[in-house]
Amino acid sequence: MKKAIQFVVFILVYPIIWIISILPFPLLYLFSDFVFVLLYYVFAYRKKVVRSNLQLAFPDKSLEAIIKIERKHYRHLADIFMEMIKTFTISKKRLAKHYKYTNLELFDELKNQSVIIVGGHYNNWEWVVQLPEFIKNEGYAAYAKIENPFFERVIKKSRERFGSKFIKTYNFIKVFEANKKNNILSVTGLLSDQSPVYHKTKLWTKFLGTCVPTHVGAEILAKKSNQAYVYININKVKRGYYEVDFELITKTPNDYPDFELTRIFIQKLEKAIYKAPEYYFWTHKRWKLKDKAKQKNAKIYCE
């Protein structure tokens, strides 16, 4: 019964999504303006969470300044939703015009080594799926299981047509180890800025001024297979256009003390957020466990 309901939802909703995805960009963003009004003024989608997060991250800013960032964020959030939908039908050629990489030569330098790319939910991270078109290594990304299997199938297909391979989170380690065993060079993208499971937390550190649990999986994977550790910085040039640059943090991750690479990543992400805070994903409850660092086996760097 559940699967039948999911299928009905899919056949009713997906055609609408597909129609939106084929809209030319001017119409897409006109529709995005309408979605912004719905999100911000009509439904107030997670507005309390967003404002609380912003006030926590920017305690010195006035309420007027916070609200200004808040409105810009919701406009950007609506654009990101539309751009994700656009991924279903956008051509490779068109995507390359909207999402440009500034220093792909870094991957030539790392051509004999697998790479972990670590980033956050900042700007449009979704369109990085086309990166394997421009490099030699196999491209991988982990994703969480989607409840509706029909949507999961089409979303996975739309992402993978650009060359990336999307692996469910619980299967990711198996694929990672198989690649290592078979000497398959890979580039793996991981978003590492959200809250890990509390009882599995290994590191607490400050993020935007507050002590929070922090994902360390990217660093652990890099050290386990001696992979290069690279930070991705996504800059919004103008509406619908992005420039992406990669920063090599190290080729030798095991030269660093435990969790130092993760803390370096957090600092780089913070710098980007402080520069243009409206482009961060403030709707997440990132600080829900703030100041609750009590695990005996976790490292705490919050001074």
Instruction: Give residue 299's pLDDT band: very low, low, confident or very high (50, 70, 90).
Output: confident
Give the whole-angstrom CA distance, residue 57 versus residue 47. Answer: 15
Domain residue ranges in the chain: 2-301
pLDDT (tens digit, 9 = 90+) per residue, 6-49?
A: 878 888 999 999 999 999 999 999 999 999 999 999 999 999 99
CA angle 254, 259, 264 (to 5 degrees): 95
Query: How distant, in Å, are the alpha carbons of 115, 178, 189, 209, 216 from that of 230?
Result: 7, 22, 9, 24, 14
pLDDT (tens digit, 9 = 90+) per residue, 159-212?
A: 899 989 988 877 878 888 888 888 889 999 999 998 888 888 899 999 999 999
